[in-house]
Amino acid sequence: MINLFKKSSEKRIGLEISSEGITMVFFKEKNKKKFIENYIYKPFLKQIIQNDQIENFEELTETLKSIINEYKPDTKNTIISMPSSSVFIKRITLPDLPKEELKTIAPQEASKHLPLTMKELNVDFHVLENTRREDESGKKVDVILCAISKTIVRSYLDAIYNAGLSVSAVDISAFAMITALANAEIINDPEKTYISVLIDYDYTDINVIQNGMPVFSHNLRAGKKNIMESITNSVNKKKEEILEFLPEVALMIPGSEISENPDLSKASNAAKNIYSNITAEIQKTIEFFNSSKTEPVEIERIILGGSGVCVQNIDKYIQNKLKIQTCVFNPFINLSEELQNQENLLYPINIPLFSTSIGLALKGF
């Protein structure tokens, strides 16, 4: 069983590894208060990940070692994330049995849906307590079932262990963001339905959230990588130059003024194409989720996080399109900061970058 829902000790590192770079948060809990001691982002200079597996072990290990040597965390206890594209996630109904018995049933259920044997899978599940019920066939309960290939997990663990860290739990990137949302008290009304949208480098994860748990998920291959490629194709600039002026790019919304800088205007239109696709997928997710309901569920709010929240007015653009309140997530809410080295990472456009790593660090609290 992989510990997707395991609680961890008072000090830990939240570590997100994407094909763009490494995001880390050093975290501790003291006197029932949560503290961030440090947060780091380090982009990769070489390709590290391909098809969700670590291809360049040495480069990743050396990058992690350089961060550890520079920032000197006082714990090795690390929680890492996997992209949902690598994980089988399904809400299923099982007999309402003790958890120890469900541990036997869950891997069998996962293997029915995947071309892998139980020996090749890491499996975990979370019981949705408020779904317990009884019908003519007996007592039932819904669970969120998660399964991932051991080969994929091992490709991450080998590089992390070689860097001197220990991994106590593995989470899913989109679920880690939901943990951070709960800590920020943004999704805590049990009577309301929310949508989290994690726009990462390679993928976008859309989750319908009720009672603090994802009840429907949708993943698409579109993220910051596509935004960067679209902008690169529209303006005559190198990647490094685009990264520098990216925070100045703003999506056009009703009432906004057209930029006098032709490159910013071109970049805005190029980025808009990608965000338009993501917005359409959010709409489809809502429609599909509501298709099984006798009455449509009203969405209270859409919350955006991840490195792909990298230009201005994304929230206003989506809100204008879908007519649903939309906001950009600040995962630092409700966290006391004791930062050794702040760097210049809290420019507003970069705050959502830490949605996953902070959620990992908060796991279990």
Which has more pLDDT, 204 or 5? 204
Q: Is residue 219 part of a domain?
A: no
Q: Is the pLDDT of residue 365 over 80?
A: no
- The band of 348, judged by pLDDT with boundaries at 50, 70 and 90, is low
Do 239 and 271 lie in one domain? The reply is: yes
Q: Is the pLDDT of residue 87 over 60?
A: yes
Do 145 and 259 lie in one domain? The reply is: no
Do 76 and 148 lie in one domain? The reply is: yes
Q: Is residue 123 part of a domain?
A: yes
- The band of 260, judged by pLDDT with boundaries at 50, 70 and 90, is confident
Report the CATH number at residue 83: 3.30.420.380
Whether residue 270 contacts residue 310, with contact meaning beta carbons closer than 8 Å, is answered with no
Query: What would the DSSP string read from start to end of 198-231?
Result: EE-SS-EEEEEEETTEEEEEEEES-SHHHHHHHH
- The band of 1, judged by pLDDT with boundaries at 50, 70 and 90, is very low
Do 61 and 176 lie in one domain? The reply is: yes
Position 32 scores a pLDDT of: 76
Do 150 and 80 lie in one domain? The reply is: yes
Q: Is residue 273 part of a domain?
A: yes
Residues counted in the chain:
365
Q: Is residue 342 part of a domain?
A: yes
Do 25 and 167 lie in one domain? The reply is: yes
Do 340 and 313 lie in one domain? The reply is: no
pLDDT per residue as tens digits for the range 183-234? 999 999 999 999 999 999 999 999 999 988 898 999 999 999 999 999 999 9
Do 77 and 18 lie in one domain? The reply is: yes
- Cα 68 to Cα 20, 35, 40, 75, 234, distances in angstroms: 19, 19, 11, 10, 39
Structure tokens at 121: 């899978």
Q: Is residue 262 part of a domain?
A: yes
Position 45 scores a pLDDT of: 84
Q: Is residue 106 part of a domain?
A: yes
Report the CATH number at residue 237: 3.30.420.40
Do 103 and 17 lie in one domain? The reply is: yes
Do 29 and 160 lie in one domain? The reply is: yes
Structural domain boundaries enclosing 251:
224-326
Dist CA 186 CA 123 (whole Å): 29
Handedness of CA 339, 342, 347, 349 (dihedral sign): negative
Position 124 scores a pLDDT of: 84
Dist CA 232 CA 18 (whole Å): 21
pLDDT per residue as tens digits for the range 265-288? 999 999 999 999 999 999 999 999
Dist CA 152 CA 54 (whole Å): 8
Position 77 scores a pLDDT of: 94
Residue that has been written with the tokens 């796991």 in this structure: 363
Do 131 and 248 lie in one domain? The reply is: no
Position 51 scores a pLDDT of: 73
Q: Is the pLDDT of residue 58 over 90?
A: no
Query: What would the DSSP string read from start to end of 265-330?
Result: HHHHHHHHHHHHHHHHHHHHHHHHHHHTSSSPPPEEEEEEESTT--SBTHHHHHHHHH-S-EEE--
- Looking at the chain, the whole-number percentage of residues with pLDDT higher than 90 is 50
**Average pLDDT score over the chain:** 87
pLDDT per residue as tens digits for the range 137-173? 888 988 888 888 888 888 889 889 999 999 999 999 9
Q: Is residue 73 part of a domain?
A: yes
pTM, rounded to two decimals: 0.88
Domain count for the chain: 2
- The band of 344, judged by pLDDT with boundaries at 50, 70 and 90, is very low
* Helix, strand, or coil (residue 331): coil
Which own/partner contact pairs does 105-109 have at CB distance under 8 Å and 24+ positions apart? 106/143, 106/145, 107/1, 107/147, 109/145
Dist CA 332 CA 328 (whole Å): 12
Q: Is residue 241 part of a domain?
A: yes
Q: 3-state DSSP: the chain helix, strand, coil percent, rounded to 5?
A: 40, 30, 30
Q: Is the pLDDT of residue 341 over 70?
A: no
Do 233 and 160 lie in one domain? The reply is: no
pLDDT per residue as tens digits for the range 92-131? 888 888 888 888 887 787 777 777 777 788 888 888 887 8
